[in-house]
Structure 1
Amino acid sequence: MDALFRKSDRLLANTSTEIVREIANTIHWNAQLISIIGAKGVGKSTLIKQYIKQNYEPGDRRVLYCSADTVDFSTRTLVELAEEFTVRGGELLAIDEIHKYKSGNTDWSREIKEIYELYPDLKLIVSGSSLLKLKEGDADLSRRAVKYTLAGLSFREALRFYHGLEFEKWTLDDILKHPYDLWQTVSTKCKPNALFKEYLKKGYYPFLLEGEGEYHTKIEQVVNYIIETELPQICKVDVANVRKLQALVAMICSEIPFALNANRIAAALEIGRDTVVEYLKYLGDAKVLNLLYSEKKKIGKLSKPDKVYLENPNIMYALAPTKVEIGTLRETFAVGSLTESHNVEYGKAQGDFLVDSKYTFEIGGRSKDFSQIAGIKDSYIFADDWDMPDGAKLPLWMLGFLY
């Protein structure tokens, strides 16, 4: 236990609290069990360590931060750790990378459930992959845990992280009703179009703060880690098919915009059509891809998506820098920003996207006109390189203020 405390002290001492994600202010930190999930690289570990560092003095033994993927758990179970920690007066136990925990045939969720029931005064924070399932058979944590999902940096957050510019969040309704107010607020402090172009290339992941040189290499490593490690471990994907998953992502990157033909992909990868659909959904859950359907009712285990995007524009530049098509880049950003808090369907017949079954959005450049959505109620154009709002034609970067 003393070794765990020393390691925790070192990790906390090396954590900067200069910039903290705003979600920290919305988390109910006093809950008995908190889960924080998200894709690798978006800052889950940092968020937890920052909270501890801001609320406990250095060396305080009432709190312990540890990671389930270390050798420390090769000789002890989670339950044993919790017991020893509470005997010593522990109050808050934070276990990072919980999905990597293994102890014989015991599932991590069952041990967390046991800790939850045995030690009601112990506060638990667990974090893990966006693939993490809180409801697995008998160990149903979905009713016990207060769950939070952490995304990468929005354009608004990136302006704060990388340029020191503070702006409030805007709801979609407020953006559509009062776009000039948002434009005026932002344009008086910076040139949003120029900074937006930077963000599309670099800025979604907080590790840009560590330096620009290896930024896209780190993104590639994140994607490979998800495919090679998380999908086999969490989704039970056959390790023999890992290369086929990598080939599937490569196919999507090489055919931008991607025209989904599940049967053609199945033939090329020599796997079944249903397996292709299943793998696409895994990659969507893992936040490598965003999958769009033309109707909500079509979303099902064997239903193929109508359109496939990479999860954010930065991945496009990391995996296929020579194939970045501006139209797909714009749509990728729009989908990624909207899906964090809104239901987005593929427009198919009219407009690019139908949002919340109400708004029709067309995404384009400054020359985009209303011919494709003429006469459609609640329809808008979001345009790149567009200087300021003009009626229902709005700058694309405004969607980066939704969270």
Structure 2
Amino acid sequence: MEGLFEKSYQKLLRVPTEFKRYLADEIDWSSRLIGIKGARGAGKTTLMLQYAKLHLPQGKETLYTSLDSLYFTDHTLVDLADQFVMQGGKFLLLDEVHRYANWSQEIKNIYDDQPDLKIIFTGSSIMHINKAKGDLSRRAVMYELAGLSFREYLNFTQGTTLKAINFNDLMSTHTSIAMDMIATMRPYEHFDNYLKYGHYPYFLENIGLYPQKLAETISLAINIDLPAFHDISYKSIEKIRLLLHIIAESVPFKPNISKLSERIDLSRNNLVLYIKYLEDIRIIRGLYPDTKGIGLLQKPEKIYLHHPNLQYALANEQSNVGNMRESFFINQIGKLGPVTYTAEGDFSFKNYIFEIGGKNKTNKQIKHIENSFVAADEIEIGHNHKIPLWMFGFLY
């Protein structure tokens, strides 16, 4: 285990602590078993290591390891936990748990057999603990880390300390909030850059190579994360890739299931299932008429890429400003709860109807609907039922 400790110390030593994600303040860190899931590149590992560096003892009591380590080719996770506890270990941080075949069962056994050990683990956004081999749903407290909000992007790149805006406050007092904010900085100046490269924290490594890195991350999610949870063949993965290519070229995509099934040579059920898979790994987002009744094989009315950054990575030549605006809106507000399809307007959220557009967009089409609003791009300050689009990036 000495090698694992050495790597753990190096990881903790190098992790930056200046900028912390929104989820750091939402997690109940006192829980004995905490799971953090999310899309590849969202920052799960950094979040976990930051907590360990700032709040846990540095030494034999704390150990970080990734479950894709070669150590686990001839050691089990249970054996590691047993040895760790015998040597005085109290805090076990497990990264990439889905890369370990029997992760849920063994974590369940460790939780039950080592009552003094606290475990924090991370895994893919496709991870559903109540469907895993070892049912952790009654033991683990699960959280999902979303990509950077526009607010977090500004704090990350500009050194600001902007606070999140409560949704109800945004609806009722957006004009005064925007005026107060613009008195100290101009958020909209940075909005286009955020849409191009600001959603995943690793953009800072090399902005020029970010679209390529993002495309590679998508490939890893399809090639590695999906097979870790579903029994799918290489041929099926290739069909999922083709499906994503078709969607990326046409977003917002209105799926004609019959024609799409024929083009990809898939049954209807498998096609809808593969759409769900791409949603689970946070590459696309389906828009459904009623989220309460979503079945496994229900098709979405529309499909968007999960965030505008993905459009630049997958189909830059096809990107258009209208799609970017809608993709941004549904991504940011969708963090708060389900966004649904509506026959009038673009989106329904809670008891509100939203139209998305540019600075000249009016509420003419939806003004007869109570609680209807326009989320307008290209403006800094809104008035009455017209809210600046960028402000929806401050909801978390």
TM-score band, normalised by shorter chain: over 0.9
- Cα shift at 1:98: 0.2
Work out which of the residue numbers 212, 216, 240 in structure 2 matches 1:245: 240
* Cα shift readout 1:232-273 (whole Å, capped 9, x = no counterpart): 221222222111111111101111331211111111111111
Work out which of the residue numbers 385, 390, 393 in structure 2 matches 1:397: 390
Q: Secondary structure at the match of 2:340?
A: strand
CA distance in 2, matches of 1:390, 1:383: 11
Which residue in 1 is equivalent to 2:12?
Answer: 12
CA distance in 1, matches of 2:19, 2:370: 41
| Contact 1:354–1:360 (Cα < 8 Å) also in 2 | yes
Q: Secondary structure at the match of 1:139?
A: coil
CA distance in 2, matches of 1:296, 1:273: 20
- Cα shift at 1:295: 2.1
CA distance in 2, matches of 1:189, 1:57: 39
Which residue in 2 is equivalent to 1:263?
Answer: 258
Q: Report the residue type matching 1:379 in the other structure.
A: S
| Contact 1:232–1:239 (Cα < 8 Å) also in 2 | no
Alignment of 1:79-158 (within 5 A): 79-102=78-101, 107-136=102-131, 139-158=134-153
| Contact 1:179–1:389 (Cα < 8 Å) also in 2 | yes
Query: Structure 1's 138 and 273: CA in aligned 2 closer, same or farther, altered over 3 A?
Result: closer
* Cα shift readout 1:291-331 (whole Å, capped 9, x = no counterpart): 11112354111110001000001001111111111111100
Please identify, of 80-89 and 285-294, the stretch whose mean Cα deviation from structure 2 is larger: 285-294
- Cα shift at 1:37: 0.4
Large movers: runs of 4+ above 4 Å: none
- Which residues of structure 1 form unaligned runs of 5+? none
CA distance in 1, matches of 2:215, 2:177: 34
Q: TM-score, normalised by structure 2?
A: 0.97
Query: Structure 1's 309 and 354: CA in aligned 2 closer, same or farther, altered over 3 A?
Result: same
Alignment of 1:380-391 (within 5 A): 380-391=373-384
CA distance in 1, matches of 2:378, 2:131: 47
| Contact 2:104–2:133 (Cα < 8 Å) also in 1 | no
Work out which of the residue numbers 363, 366, 369 in structure 2 matches 1:373: 366
| Contact 2:104–2:132 (Cα < 8 Å) also in 1 | no
- Cα shift at 1:138: 6.2
CA distance in 1, matches of 2:306, 2:272: 17
Please identify, of 39-48 and 186-195, the stretch whose mean Cα deviation from structure 2 is larger: 186-195
Query: Structure 1's 137 and 180: CA in aligned 2 closer, same or farther, altered over 3 A?
Result: closer
- Cα shift at 1:187: 1.0
Work out which of the residue numbers 291, 300, 304 in structure 1 matches 2:299: 304
CA distance in 2, matches of 1:396, 1:23: 23
CA distance in 1, matches of 2:180, 2:248: 36
- Cα shift at 1:341: 1.0
Alignment of 1:3-402 (within 5 A): 3-56=3-56, 58=58, 60-102=59-101, 107-136=102-131, 139-347=134-342, 349-356=343-350, 358-402=351-395
Q: Secondary structure at the match of 2:381?
A: coil
CA distance in 2, matches of 1:158, 1:77: 39
CA distance in 1, matches of 2:315, 2:132: 40
Q: Report the residue type matching 1:291 in the other structure.
A: G
Identity of aligned residues (%): 39
CA distance in 2, matches of 1:126, 1:375: 49
* Cα shift readout 1:107-151 (whole Å, capped 9, x = no counterpart): 211111100010011000111000112113662111111111100
Q: Secondary structure at the match of 2:207?
A: coil
CA distance in 2, matches of 1:362, 1:307: 15
| Contact 2:93–2:120 (Cα < 8 Å) also in 1 | yes
CA distance in 2, matches of 1:125, 1:296: 30
CA distance in 1, matches of 2:375, 2:62: 47
CA distance in 2, matches of 1:223, 1:159: 25
| Contact 1:235–1:282 (Cα < 8 Å) also in 2 | no
Query: Structure 1's 83 and 218: CA in aligned 2 closer, same or farther, altered over 3 A?
Result: same
- Cα shift at 1:192: 2.0
Q: Report the residue type matching 1:351 in the other structure.
A: G
Q: TM-score, normalised by structure 1?
A: 0.96
CA distance in 1, matches of 2:57, 2:338: 42
CA distance in 2, matches of 1:31, 1:364: 43
CA distance in 1, matches of 2:112, 2:28: 19
Query: Structure 1's 256 and 139: CA in aligned 2 closer, same or farther, altered over 3 A?
Result: closer
Q: Report the residue type matching 1:78 in the other structure.
A: L
Compute the RMSD of aligned alpha carbons: 1.3
Q: Report the residue type matching 2:356 in the other structure.
A: I
- Cα shift at 1:63: 0.3
| Contact 2:248–2:314 (Cα < 8 Å) also in 1 | yes
CA distance in 2, matches of 1:133, 1:18: 32
Q: Report the residue type matching 2:391 in the other structure.
A: M
